[in-house]
A and B are shown apart, each in its own frame.
Chain A
């Protein structure tokens, strides 16, 4: 489904991604973990061209974009359509209700019929457990509810891949579960997902594969039970040790 080849990203002189190669099969949920500054968020943002990679190529569903070449706006737009993003800080449109947020992409961008888009948006909001809240503005919703609207808004675009950028990091602890549950359901339905997260429980329970990143490279990848129980690389071990320590405290 996704094939990433030798992806590099530089911000000025700072090389944040130093050659990423990865493949994601259709229906897989991939979790990317790693210390802060490891480039995992940049990696995710490159898949949606929120950051334009400096070089390398990404193939999503047989559509390949080679970032070494200069790309037209049209090519970038077409590539971007393949995936949808869920943000750490939700980034809902505050001047629109939950329903309007979800309908915005289908109506403004995809020019869908308004009635149809509305019906679909209602279904999606019901699916993420917000059927009662469709006419609320974001400020009237809790963080967990806002993030679920964010997921519904992304799903409304009918993407082939869902990208999650630390979707629960800004949430109060008691609200994390409701968002993870929605994501877990999505994974169970066979949605292809790439998730950057600090939620190790989610990684253990839901991921088909875990990527551990550090200093702009993928250090180790494997099934969650292997990564968490028998990490091969020293850096992975150190990272997991640190995390488990803070779990105890």
Chain B
């Protein structure tokens, strides 16, 4: 028993370090890139330019139609065959960003379409350009609608970053694997990893709650 407590204590710091160094940055950076990609993709889908629509559709279809792990493997193990070598961390960022971009684009598209046509018209009549309408009128309202589903996307992403261990990113789960390989305490180490993921996701859902309250200031309840 004492041995287990010792192992748990000594592995705690490396796990936290890996979380701060890789798991969180990987999640946050990928989410931000992914979100930008998602907004662009959503706008392409609802634009009247046919070619934009088609490109966006193909992109979303490919990403949603193939496993994330396969995408990561293609980026990291496959591309070197073409002479393109990407380091583990950037490869993971690219993979996760593309993934978030595709999934979140559907959320954002739905949120934009949920804003009544009258809002676009009101923006039009006060003389706003397309970008001004989006920035000042549509996206602020759409972000309120899309907050719960986007939080889902972000929470999924945080857990999915454990897949980056398979392309050699020393994120938290990979560190847990490495430690477990030396002392064979798999249940303990993976349990610790699970606990850490849960704590992060729980903290996130608290933040989500606060954001929702902030957004709800302008709707009647």
Q: Do A and B come from one complex?
A: yes
Nearest chain-B residue to A156 (Cβ)?
A: B126
B126 touches A104 (CB 8 A): yes
A157 interface residue (CB < 8 Å to B): yes
Distance between Cα atoms of A81 and B19 in the complex (Å): 54
Q: Given the interface contacts A108-B136, A109-B132, does A91 sit within 8 Å of B119 by beta carbon?
A: yes
Give per-residue flags for B111-145: 1 if the beta carbon is below 8 A from chain A beta carbons, else 0. Answer: 00000101101101111110010001100110010
Asked if residues A50 and B121 are in contact (CB atoms below 8 Å), the reply is yes
Assembly CA distance A139 to B127 (angstroms): 24
Number of residue pairs spanning A and B whose beta carbons lie under 8 angstroms apart = 62
Say whether, besides A89-B118, A92-B122, A94-B141, A109 and B128 are in contact (CB < 8 Å): yes
Chain A hits for B141, CB < 8 A:
94-95
The answer, yes or no, to whether B66 is at the interface (CB within 8 Å) is: no
Tell me whether A87 and B121 are in contact in the complex, defined as CB-CB below 8 angstroms, given that A94-B219, A108-B132 are known contacts. yes
Are B127 and A80 in contact, with the CB atoms below 8 A? Answer: yes
B118 touches A91 (CB 8 A): yes
Range of interface residues on chain B?
A: 20 to 34
User: Using Cβ atoms and an 8 Å threshold, which residues of chain A touch B144?
Assistant: 95
Is A85 part of the contact surface with B, judged by Cβ < 8 Å?
A: yes
Name the residue in A87, A94, A110, A138 with the highest tally of chain B Cβ atoms < 10 Å from its Cβ.
A94
A40 / chain B contacts, CB cutoff of 8 Å? none
Residues of A within 8 A of B (CB): 48, 50, 77, 80-81, 84-85, 87, 89, 91-96, 104-105, 108-110, 137-140, 153-154, 157
- 23 interchain pairs (CB within 8 A)? A50-B125, A77-B127, A77-B129, A80-B127, A85-B121, A87-B118, A89-B118, A91-B116, A91-B118, A93-B136, A93-B137, A95-B141, A95-B144, A96-B218, A104-B126, A105-B128, A108-B132, A108-B136, A109-B127, A138-B218, A139-B220, A154-B126, A157-B127
